[in-house]
Structure 1
């Protein structure tokens, strides 16, 4: 922490928990306790947004635990858990984001799809909970990126990008990120866009490609 503080860097988002899940009472208690600790860490770095998933992610992003099928009460419990997260966020003056994932890299993650994340966040509809719209995951799970941006727009807290396949910088795969950037600007989106990717070549070149794609 001390080393990070000394860099003088601006940190816009960080992981908002270390353990827990949305789907059951025990997991919710773990998530809330972990989120409280993480908020305190984030405040030292000036972080205003803290990221969540439907459950914990282990090595290589494998969900812990994997959820094979949805029980009828899982949506109700997830909404209750996220409302409690919102209460914590309101008290602490921060915002939590719920990130969409994809079923190839993260099989068995509850509430991982763009569809599920939008349904949860929009049904709660509180300013303390936004969507971390990861377009790399959306491309794999659903495609149709621009229309998903439009659908999620009122609740987006951050947009994250990487190209597919390979999860490298824009221009290395199939996604027309320059077109996505123009569409986001036309929609009026002026929030943060983060590059969450590997560098195919040098890191400087990857950052230049990202800036070029999202300079509108």
Structure 2
């Protein structure tokens, strides 16, 4: 990705060769991760904010990561991007659950802290907990006003 998260080479459709190259590349990354005893995550994006981004959906990232199916590669499930690209957040969390390495949070619209947009964060947090997710949840958002208040809102949304 280049300036502003826009793809340098845009592609509206992923071709078969692109899928094969992505799988080969991610398998090489997994080999390196295994040698270093680390885990990499692949973030889902959305095509509204990142037009022309290949594999720019939750569905595509899940398909890639699950087809590789190695513990060194997980999904950085960005719920802001999922909301814009696909919606149906809780069902996507369920589908991605076995492959989630991290969940990222920002409200929509505006990409600000929980409680500033349309997303029901306490419901999403409860659903993640109920389905057994215990991994990291990160706030990747802009503070609507006060950064400290944004952190408080994040903690409040994810404290059960």
Question: Matched residue pairs, number?
Answer: 160
| Selected match of 1:113 from 54, 57, 62 | 57
Equivalent in the alignment of 1:195? 139
2:82 aligned with 1:138: yes
Tell me what 1:186 maps to.
130
Contact persistence 1:97–1:130 (CA under 8 A)? yes
Whole-Å separation in 1 of the counterparts to 2:91 and 2:101:
17
**Over residues 120-171 of structure 1, what are the superposed CA-to-partner deviations in whole Å (9 max), with x where a residue is unaligned?**
0001100000000000000000000000000000000000010000000000
Q: Where in structure 2 are the equivalents of 1:10-49 lying within 5 Å?
A: none
Q: 1:76 Cα shift?
A: 1.2
Pairing 1:152–2:110 present: no
2:107·2:115 contact (CA, 8 Å) conserved in 1? yes
Shift of 1:72: 2.3
| Unaligned ranges ≥5, structure 2 | none
- Rg larger for: 1
Asked whether the 8 Å contact 1:100–1:112 carries over to 2, the reply is yes
1:91 and 2:39 are equivalent in the alignment: no
**Unaligned 5+ runs, structure 1:** 1-56
The TM-score, its normalising length taken from structure 2, stands at: 0.98
Among 106, 109, 116, the residue aligned to 1:172: 116
CA distance in 1, matches of 2:125, 2:68: 28
Assess if the C-alpha contact under 8 Å between 2:44 and 2:81 holds in 1. Answer: yes
CA RMSD in angstroms, aligned pairs only = 0.8
